[in-house]
Amino acid sequence: MSLTLTEIVATLGGELHGDGACRIHQVAPLGRANAGEIGFVAHPKYRDSLDGCKASALVLPPALINASDLPRIIIQDPYLYFARLTQLLNPIRRSEPGVHPTAVVLSPVPASASIGANAYIGENCQVGEGVVISPGCVIGEGCSIGADSYLHAHVILYADTHVGRRCILHAGCVIGSDGFGNARRPDGSWEKIPQIGRAILGDDVEIGANTTVDRGALDDTVVENGARIDNLIQIAHNCRVGEHAAIAGQAGMAGSSTLGKRVMVGGQAGIMGHIDVGDDIVISARSFMSKSVMERGVYTSAIPSQSHKEWLRNAVHLKHLDAMADRIRALENKLKELESKA
């Protein structure tokens, strides 16, 4: 697909400067953009990246309106505009409607749905219009999938899972598997606690590859509308992820924890069970949240990187923190005695 800048602005908005007939067929990073491609600068501090740019056109913020003679679209939020432009030039390739002859389908599906090779759909399922279920997917009994959702290869939905409209589930993710619920017997062995809740995904949710969202033990596990969950993430039973929250790769939520609306969780961060994180909070990568926080802000508990030599030197002191604290208290007491005698 290719579009002129005039056509792009007519669709997405923005203020056009320069040749509107300039034709664009793809987006590209500034460092390697060539003829027929468009690049962007999100912030004036990256102005120097325009030097030597070979793109045919640019998307720029108002502060850089005169930073280049290339045809350009001026917009307040170039990053968001670039995301929408990328979607416009790269529409999702939809599979042809129909049911592959090797698929096992035990529930009615609309004619507009696409069911891939060796997919399985159990009994009493509801599949919406335009749904794509790719090869190797397994849809358990009683599941529902909203219109225009896209399940990539080998997605597994356990029984009674609900997926909203326009969701994207990437390869290998598992929704609705049993939560980690076990009761200790007197002899130290384990009694499994049946997980009788469901896993529910709202509308416009995206789940990354090989991520797991466990079903609830008693209540449901819920991922609300518009949430974005990256690859290799664990969402435990009874958790709730708020609207438009975003969780980066390898993070984990322990059971019955809650993220508010628009929360952002960095990669490899951990959320302890039975705590609440309020709306609009940011948790830095590799941080561990051990208590509830409701006040907006950025929370960090990660250890900063340092050279191995520095780390070894500091590790020696860590072993003696208790003794050092005792010495400090003793010195403080002596100082108080001296001050009282002065």
Of 51, 52, 50, nearest to 60 by C-alpha is 50
237 is catalytic: yes
Which H or E element spans position 4? strand 3-4
Residue 20, judged by CB atoms within 10 A of its CB (0-12, 13-18, 19+), counts as: middle
Q: How far apart are CA 138 and CA 157, in angstroms?
A: 6
Coil, strand or helix at 225: coil
Which letter does DSSP use for residue 273 in this model? T
Torsion angle, CA of 222/223/229/235, rounded to 10 degrees? -10
**Which structure tokens are listed for 273?**
């069970």
Bridge partners of 277, per DSSP, are 259, 293
**DSSP-assigned letters across all residues of 108-137:** ---TT-EE-TT-EE-TT-EE-TT-EE-TT-
Token representation of residue 329? 């208290």
Cα 11-13-16 angle, rounded to 5 deg:
110
67-95 as b/e: b if 16+ CB within 10 A: bbebbbbbbeebeebbeebeebbeeeeee
Residue of 237, 244, 317, 320 marked catalytic: 237
d(CA 320, CA 150): 55
Beta carbons of 299 and 281 less than 8 angstroms apart: yes
Q: How far apart are CA 30 and CA 37, in angstroms?
A: 9
Tokens linked to 144 = 């529902």
- Facing residues of 200 across strands? 162, 222
The Cα 107–Cα 96 span in angstroms is: 19
Catalytic residue IDs? 237
